[in-house]
């Protein structure tokens, strides 16, 4: 099937088999390998990307379901000049990276949540629930919670 995805602002006209999942198309056809495949069952969250601003598990979504959609991957977080996104800076500052395999999924689920509801960072229980949606085997989650809260606090335009 012929589809068009807008990935990180760039259009990709693609010819994909209807059964291919978005994660595979992003990695193989678009050559955007920042989206990681972990469990391939939608449990771990390593493959999380934003589709039309909503966090989705790209290992469960068929690429054809995204025809005409805007997809944002971890490669699309940094600014056009390569300046790291506030979440990327906060993850580094709070030591929320460790092995890094799960990091793209955490960054994308956090970016989607903070863009939709910046106030989420004011509620530790909501941040904990957000972080609990993905699996990390290295950090113990606390650095990730701190990083999300820090990024929200330091985002441009937020009063200090």
Give residue-wise pLDDT tens across range 45-99.
999 999 999 999 999 999 999 999 999 999 999 988 999 999 999 999 999 988 9
Question: Whole-model pTM?
Answer: 0.92
Query: What CATH number matches the domain at 86-154, 1.10.10.60, 3.20.20.100, 3.90.1710.10, 1.10.150.120?
Result: 1.10.150.120
Mean pLDDT of the chain, nearest integer: 92
Burial code of 28-45, b = ≥16 C-beta within 10 A, e = fewer? ebbebebbbebeeeeebb
Would the pLDDT of 29 be above 50?
yes
Cα 44 to its chain centre, rounded Å, is 13
Token couple for 154:
């330091």
Give residue limits of the domains in the chain: 2-74, 86-154
- What contacts 119, CB < 8 A, 6 or more positions away? none
- Which tokens belong to 15? 């010819």
Domain 2-74: top CATH class: alpha beta
- Give CA–CA dist 48/135, Å, rounded: 11
Lookup: tokens for 58:
């790209």
């Amino acid at each position: 099937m012929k589809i068009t995805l807008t990935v990180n602002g760039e259009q990709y006209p693609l010819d994909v088999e209807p059964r291919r999942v978005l994660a595979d198309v992003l990695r193989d056809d678009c050559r955007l390998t920042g989206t990681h495949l972990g469990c391939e069952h939608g449990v771990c969250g390593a493959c999380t990307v934003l589709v039309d601003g909503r966090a989705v598990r790209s290992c469960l979504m068929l690429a054809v379901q995204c025809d005409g959609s805007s997809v944002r991957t971890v490669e699309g977080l940094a600014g056009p000049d390569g300046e790291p996104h506030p979440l990327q800076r906060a993850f580094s500052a709070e030591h929320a990276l460790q092995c890094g395999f799960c990091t793209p999924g955490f960054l994308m689920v956090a970016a989607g949540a903070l863009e939709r509801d910046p106030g989420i960072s004011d509620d530790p229980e909501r941040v904990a629930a957000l972080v609990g949606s993905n699996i990390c085997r290295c950090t113990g989650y606390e650095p990730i919670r701190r990083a999300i809260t820090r990024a929200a606090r330091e985002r441009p335009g937020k009063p200090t």
